[in-house]
Amino acid sequence: MPGKLRNLAAAAGAAARAAVEQGRGAVELRRHSGGLAARNGLAHAGAIMPSTAVLQAIIAGFGLSSVIDDDGDLTVRRENYSVYFFHFGEDAEVLQARLYLNRRFEVELRPTLALLLDDWNRSKLFPKAYTVLPDDGLVGICAEQAFDFEGGTNPAQLTFTVGIWLHNLEQFAEWVEEHV
């Protein structure tokens, strides 16, 4: 699976670079008071937003299945973890991919886990990793990546971004399995 995502991310990256070289990928993301770039005419022609429907198509293109959970969040479930896609912002322009490991740990291990995740965060740019205390009384581990797509983006760049996020999150899950 890691090889397949890596190959798909590389292909999406090549397509995104080609689109940028052809001038289709330029998006002005300046902020203006009182509204988003799209409302101020700054979004370029052909720009898309990372809607759930668009994300479902991208994920399916990677050969992965996804579901919409009870809260309406797009979810990719794997053997050891799940990745949830959340939308934030006035017009849902901020996209976040958040990984939750299936493994849980005793609360007494939280300081040790936090130190381990600090090592990850110091040595890697992405994804950001941290502990959480879900309702089950055990410690969970999360990792996340996010981006503000105000003004939209082109399909190739969004595909590239989602592919890289999924790859990075999978690498993190593998790293935790090796180190915890």
CB 54 within 8 A of CB 48: yes
Find the domain containing 29 and state its range.
2-179
CA–CA separation, 125 vs 127, rounded Å?
6
Q: CATH number of the domain that 168 lies in?
A: 3.30.1460.10
Report the predicted TM-score, pTM, of the whole model to 2 decimal places.
0.78
Q: How many domains does the chain have?
A: 1
CB 178 within 8 A of CB 120: no
Tens digit of pLDDT at every position of the chain (180 positions): 555 555 555 555 554 444 444 443 333 222 322 334 445 454 567 899 999 999 999 999 999 999 999 999 999 999 999 999 999 999 999 999 999 999 999 999 999 999 999 999 999 999 999 999 999 999 999 999 999 999 999 999 999 999 999 999 999 999 999 999
